Amino acid sequence: MQTSDSGPEPGGAGLPWVLFVHGTRLSAAQWAPQTARLRGRLRTLAVDLPGHGALRNTPFTLDSCVAALDDALDAAGAAAAVVVGHSLGGYVTMEYARRRPERCRGVVLSGCTARTTGVYTLPFRAVAAAVARLDPARLTRWNDWAFRRAYPADVVGPAVEAGYGFAALPAAWRAVLGRFAPESLRGADMPVLILNGARDLVFRSEEAAFAAACARARVEVVPGAGHLVAFDRPDAFSDAVLRFAREVAAGTADGVGRTG
- Sketch the domain layout of the chain as residue ranges: 2-259
Query: Residues 203-239: pLDDT tens digits?
Result: 999 999 999 999 999 999 999 999 999 999 999 999 9
Q: Which of 85, 103, 82, 81 is nearest to 94 (CA)?
A: 85
Q: Which of 143, 130, 224 is nearest to 173 (CA)?
A: 130
First and final C-alpha spacing in the chain? 32
Phi, psi of 81 (to 5 degrees): -155, 165
CA 216 to chain centre: 19
Task: Give domain 2-259's CATH superfamily.
Answer: Alpha/Beta hydrolase fold, catalytic domain (3.40.50.1820)
d(CA 7, CA 255): 28
d(CA 22, CA 30): 6
d(CA 87, CA 90): 5
Neighbours of 84 (CB within 10 A): 31
For position 1, what pLDDT does the model report?
Answer: 56
Q: How confident is the model at residue 7 (pLDDT cuts 50, 70, 90)?
A: low
Residue 128 reports pLDDT greater than 80: no
d(CA 134, CA 130): 7
pTM of the entire structure? 0.93
Residue 64 reports pLDDT greater than 90: yes
For position 219, what pLDDT does the model report?
Answer: 97
Query: Residues 73-117: pLDDT tens digits?
Result: 999 999 999 999 999 999 999 999 999 999 999 999 999 999 999
Query: Residues 42-60: pLDDT tens digits?
Result: 999 999 999 999 999 999 9
What mean pLDDT do residues 243-254 have? Answer: 90
